[in-house]
């Protein structure tokens, strides 16, 4: 991982001037940005884990200050057995900790190596995809807080194991499902092998004893597969029948049961015509499908977990004179809590002492400071920017505004219009018709030539074994996902491709998606003024101040700095009193808009202008989407003049400003009602509900977790070009799917009648079936060598 | 026929071994983190003591 010059060796953030912190490594000095990162890097080297820096693919997480404080909070929970994890034999516990900051395999290695050296820790596993750390430990030998401290020392942030039990259950479910697929797969290989013998016997002759022996073994292998892997389908069918709502499982269970029972009947009657091979293969492919579906479902459940994570887990409660750090879940309404600058509010409440500025980007998507004074309402999850305040809690946990937003998201996901991918209804319909045709064939041949009835029926079943048809779309899907992955785009929902190529309208969020998402300094009076203003700006967290600090680079900070919430900062610059802030605060005649004023006491104030700059490739991407026949719309929570400017610059005619999360979702359902298929592209939490409710959705990899998980696909990197690219691939995939589907249908239309009239022996039928499967697969692979139009064209 | 019986027995035995190995690998959590496992091979130094 390349690190820019003047960036922290551990976390890659810029190092402000005047910081002289280093870590020693191989006789070289590496600069780090803060004492926290220094401690982490030193610990890593001291423990002999320096290889982490070679293998990591992502930069480390910036260490947070106040480690001792965080450890003390965990120590308060040491005695709570409910947090220790599931009990194993001889008192050991299996603890699942959701851990923030795990970014790549090197992190997993680092955590494993570090934790496993602690006394009382038996084994550690890290799942990089979900961010869970699984620790098997002995509570007699160590404490919970020691494990948490082990993670925190490395700069990761463990969360209280409150939802651990659910994830544990899900993991068990995943393993069970995988076992079913494995059993069915192995069984399928065996039975297929015997089937080859049986087919060869049909073609070249086989002794009766050997034939029945092969059939016997097939039955012996099929039965456990049917009972173990196939059980879920029978259970599902039974449940849905009992609920009087026959679902997908009913025809499936019927097909399996009929094929198996008929095989057994023929086998025991002695004419030996069996198709156990079809039974196991069918079970295998269906189990595999179920497994994929479950993986996607589990991923979606994590969206809820990510949302819960937006709320801080710890709160500093005031009880009389005492201040104590308690889990935020323990708060009750009426409690008073202290929230420091830079922390987020643990619960909804009113400010009862102090005044500050709050970043409510969580709710509005626009990162700007809003002044809040005593008596004002603050929302859990929003960030306190400038001054410590005391808050009286009015709502916590499930009752907070953020939690209700989570429910909005879940509802949107639940009511998402079902995008029927073809195989979902087609395969059972196809199977049932095949079974009917097979039965009809058998009946028909009874009148013509009863001795050939079985052979003809078997040929029908084999030739139409739903391979080509059931492969036709999944192989294209697999090839397209693979191709998109090569281009840095990850599909997170199974039906995303299907939804994507139906899209005729693209709706963009503005801030962070179409624009860079942070204000950029566009105009300043002079280099001198910039240098002076920067000395004040470096001390403030205000987005505009940060933009000035970025533009000025590193440098000194003013002394005796005071932040005035909602107004600005004052301090002593070069020995003179100076102010940086709003026009009113500095004493200037402001023109409104995105500006900040700076003045020395007594001097005339000067203005700094900001703009949330458009991404460089935005205009080109929009033009390209237009050329592809899509209409484009802009939906933003920002003020109308700013949205108008951005829309004009990007070349978008249709735009709406001042949209809330709810009105965004509403606008999308309006568009859906008008018959449009919408692709939503957004990154903020305020887009999450819209993303989940849209026909298809796309989020950049840098988006907040919730939005990433709510969307159908995630593109890595920051390039908007991915939006056009993904639609191009989806459309190509649709063409391949149509070709494959047409081919498979044609094949069945020709092959089934041929088998019905008895022209195909089972052997020929098997060969034809394999060939047809190979053809659809090869056609799908064309996607991986497809040339994509370059963004320039 | 005898050949066939022996061959079947061998095939079933091998399949049983494969199944056992699969279930063992599943139980020991070897499929829980595919991404991490895939990258571990790049780490060519011996495990830490």
DSSP per position, chain B: -HHHHHHHHHHHHHHHHHHHHHHHHHHTTTTS-HHHHHHHTT--SPPP-
- Tell me which of A719 and A606 has the higher pLDDT: A606
pLDDT of residue A87: 78
pLDDT at A138 over 80: yes
Give chain A positions within 8 Å (CB) of B32. Answer: 125, 127, 134, 171
Give the DSSP per-residue string, A589-655: ----SSEEEEEETTSPPEEEEEE-PBPTTHHHHHHHHHHTT-EEEEE-SS-HHHHHHHHHHHT--EE
How large a percentage of chain A has pLDDT more than 90?
Answer: 3
pLDDT of residue A464: 66
Kind of pairing, strands A505-509 and A678-681? parallel
pLDDT at A792 over 50: no
Interface list for B 1-49 with A (CB within 8 A): 1, 4-5, 8, 11-12, 15, 18-19, 22-23, 26-27, 29, 31-36, 38-40, 42-43, 45, 48
Residues A700 and A715: beta-carbon distance below 8 Å: yes
The Cα angle at residue A581 between residues A577 and A582, in degrees rounded to 5: 135
Residue B36: pLDDT band (50, 70, 90) is: low
A197 vs chain B: nearest CA distance in angstroms? 11
Average pLDDT over chain A, rounded to an integer: 77
- pLDDT per residue as tens digits for the range A665-712: 888 888 888 888 888 888 766 777 778 778 888 887 666 656 666 677
Residue A219: pLDDT band (50, 70, 90) is: very high
Give the lowest-confidence range in A399-413, A531-545, A751-765: A399-413
- Tell me which of B44 and A267 has the higher pLDDT: A267
Nearest-Cα residue of chain A relative to residue B10: A190
Q: What is the separation of C-alpha A639 from the centre of its chain, rounded to a whole number of angstroms?
A: 30
- Tell me which of A227 and A208 has the higher pLDDT: A227
pLDDT of residue A181: 92
pLDDT of residue A356: 82
pLDDT of residue A276: 84
pLDDT of residue A9: 77
Strand partners, A370: A358
B39 vs chain A: nearest CA distance in angstroms? 6
Residue A417: pLDDT band (50, 70, 90) is: very low
pLDDT of residue A248: 56
Nearest-Cα residue of chain A relative to residue B40: A105
Average pLDDT of span A605-619: 82
Give the lowest-confidence range in A502-506, A629-633, A759-763: A759-763
In the 8-state DSSP scheme, what is residue A142? S
pLDDT at A466 over 60: no
Residue A431: pLDDT band (50, 70, 90) is: low
Nearest-Cα residue of chain A relative to residue B3: A210
pLDDT of residue A179: 93
A220 vs chain B: nearest CA distance in angstroms? 10
pLDDT at A787 over 80: no
Instruction: Point out the residues of A that are catalytic.
Output: 509
> What ipTM is given for this predicted complex?
0.86
- pLDDT per residue as tens digits for the range A329-346: 778 888 888 887 777 788
Average pLDDT of span A113-125: 84
Residue A183: pLDDT band (50, 70, 90) is: very high
- pLDDT per residue as tens digits for the range A568-577: 888 888 888 8
pLDDT at A415 over 70: no
Give chain B positions within 8 Å (CB) of A207. Answer: 1
- Tell me which of A179 and A407 has the higher pLDDT: A179
- pLDDT per residue as tens digits for the range A148-179: 888 888 778 787 766 556 666 777 888 899 99
Average pLDDT of span A384-388: 78
**Maximum Cα–Cα distance across chain B:** 56
Q: How many CB pairs under 8 A join A and B?
A: 73
pLDDT at A494 over 80: no
Q: What is the separation of C-alpha A562 from the centre of its chain, rounded to a whole number of angstroms?
A: 41
Average pLDDT of span A496-510: 83
pLDDT of residue A420: 41
pLDDT at A378 over 50: yes
pLDDT of residue A427: 59
- Give the C-alpha distances (Å, rounded to integers) separating A86 from A82, A110, A157, A614: 9, 24, 21, 50
Interface list for A 207-266 with B (CB within 8 A): 207, 209-210, 213-214, 217, 221
b (16+ CB within 10 A) / e for A34-46 = bebbbbbbbebbe
- pLDDT per residue as tens digits for the range A634-671: 888 777 887 888 888 888 888 888 887 778 888 888 88
Q: What is the separation of C-alpha A548 from the centre of its chain, rounded to a whole number of angstroms?
A: 34
Say if the Cβ atoms of A125 and B19 lie within 8 Å: no
Average pLDDT of span A724-731: 87
B47 vs chain A: nearest CA distance in angstroms? 9
- pLDDT per residue as tens digits for the range A72-93: 778 877 777 777 777 777 888 8
Residue A404: pLDDT band (50, 70, 90) is: low
Token reading at A488: 């840095």
């Amino acid at each position: 991982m390349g690190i820019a010059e003047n960036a922290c060796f551990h976390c890659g953030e810029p190092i402000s001037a005047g910081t002289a912190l280093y870590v020693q490594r191989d006789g070289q000095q590496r600069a780090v940005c803060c004492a926290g990162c220094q401690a982490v890097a030193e610990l890593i080297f001291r423990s002999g884990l320096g290889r982490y820096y070679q293998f990591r693919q992502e930069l480390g997480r910036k260490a947070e200050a106040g480690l001792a404080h965080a450890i003390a909070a965990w120590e308060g929970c040491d005695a709570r057995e409910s947090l220790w994890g599931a009990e194993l034999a001889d008192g050991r516990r299996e603890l699942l900790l959701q851990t923030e900051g795990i970014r790549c395999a090197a992190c997993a290695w680092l955590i494993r190596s570090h934790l496993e050296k602690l006394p009382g820790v038996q084994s550690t596993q890290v799942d990089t995809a979900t961010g869970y750390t699984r620790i098997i430990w002995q509570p007699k030998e160590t404490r919970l807080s020691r494990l948490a401290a082990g993670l925190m020392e490395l700069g990761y942030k463990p969360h209280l194991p409150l939802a651990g039990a659910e994830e544990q259950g899900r993991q068990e479910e995943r393993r069970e499902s995988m076992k079913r697929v494995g059993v069915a797969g192995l069984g399928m290989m065996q039975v297929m092998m015997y089937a080859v013998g049986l087919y060869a016997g049909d073609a070249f002759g086989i002794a009766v004893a050997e034939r029945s022996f092969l059939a016997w073994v097939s039955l012996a292998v099929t039965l456990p597969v049917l009972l173990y892997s196939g059980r879920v389908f029978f259970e599902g069918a039974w449940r849905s029948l009992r609920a009087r709502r026959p679902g997908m499982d009913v025809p499936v269970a019927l097909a399996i049961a009929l094929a198996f029972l008929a095989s057994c009947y023929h086998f025991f009657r002695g004419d030996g015509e069996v198709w156990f091979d079809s039974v196991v293969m069918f079970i295998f492919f269906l189990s595999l499908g179920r497994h994929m579906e479950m993986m996607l479902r589990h991923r979606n459940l994590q969206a809820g977990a990510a949302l819960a994570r937006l709320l801080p887990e710890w709160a500093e409660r005031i009880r009389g004179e005492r201040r104590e750090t308690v889990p935020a879940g323990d708060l009750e309404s009426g409690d008073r809590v202290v929230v420091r600058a830079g922390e987020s509010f643990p619960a909804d409440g009113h400010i009862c002492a102090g005044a500050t500025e709050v970043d409510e980007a969580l709710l509005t998507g626009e990162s700007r400071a809003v002044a809040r004074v005593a008596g004002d309402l603050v929302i859990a999850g929003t960030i306190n920017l400038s001054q410590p305040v005391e808050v009286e809690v009015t709502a916590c946990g499930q009752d907070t505004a953020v939690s209700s937003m989570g429910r909005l998201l879940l509802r949107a996901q639940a009511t998402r219009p079902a995008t029927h991918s073809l195989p979902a209804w087609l395969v059972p319909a196809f199977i049932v018709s095949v079974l009917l045709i097979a039965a009809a064939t058998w009946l028909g041949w009874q009148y013509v030539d009863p001795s050939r009835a079985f052979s003809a029926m078997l040929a029908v079943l084999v030739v139409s074994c739903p391979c080509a048809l059931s492969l036709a779309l999944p192989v294209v899907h697999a090839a397209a996902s693979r191709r998109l992955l090569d281009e840095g785009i990850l599909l997170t929902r199974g039906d995303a491709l299907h939804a994507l190529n139906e899209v005729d309208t693209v709706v963009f969020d503005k801030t962070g998606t179409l624009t860079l998402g942070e204000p950029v300094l566009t105009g300043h009076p002079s280099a001198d003024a910039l240098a002076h203003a920067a000395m004040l700006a470096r001390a403030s967290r205000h987005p505009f101040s940060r933009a000035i600090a970025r533009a000025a680079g590193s440098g000194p900070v003013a002394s005796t700095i005071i932040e005035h919430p909602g107004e600005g900062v004052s301090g002593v610059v070069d020995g003179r009193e100076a102010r940086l802030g709003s026009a009113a605060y500095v004493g200037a005649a402001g023109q409104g808009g995105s500006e900040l004023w700076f003045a020395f006491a007594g001097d005339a104030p000067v203005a700094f202008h900001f703009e949330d700059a458009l991404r460089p490739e935005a205009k080109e991407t929009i033009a390209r989407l237009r050329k592809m026949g899509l209409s484009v719309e802009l939906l933003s929570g920002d003020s109308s003049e700013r949205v108008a400017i951005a829309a004009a610059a990007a070349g978008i005619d249709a735009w709406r400003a001042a949209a809330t999360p709810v009105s965004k979702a509403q606008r999308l359902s309006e568009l859906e009602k008008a018959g449009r298929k919408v692709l939503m592209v957004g990154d903020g939490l305020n887009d999450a509900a819209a993303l989940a409710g849209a026909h298809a959705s796309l989020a950049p990899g840098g988006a907040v977790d919730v939005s990433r998980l709510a969307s159908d696909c995630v593109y890595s990197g920051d390039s908007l070009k991915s939006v056009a690219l993904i639609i191009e691939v989806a459309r190509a995939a649709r063409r391949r799917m149509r070709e494959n589907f047409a081919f498979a249908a044609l094949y069945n239309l020709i092959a089934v009648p041929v088998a019905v009239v008895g022209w195909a022996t089972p052997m020929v039928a098997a060969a034809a079936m394999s060939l047809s499967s190979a053809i659809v697969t090869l056609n799908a692979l064309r996607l991986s060598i497809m040339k994509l139009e370059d963004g320039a064209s | 026929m005898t050949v066939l019986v022996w061959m079947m027995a061998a095939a079933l035995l091998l399949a049983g071994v494969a199944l056992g190995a699969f279930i063992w690998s599943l139980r020991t959590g070897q499929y829980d983190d595919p991404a991490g496992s895939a990258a571990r091979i790049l780490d060519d130094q011996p495990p830490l003591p």
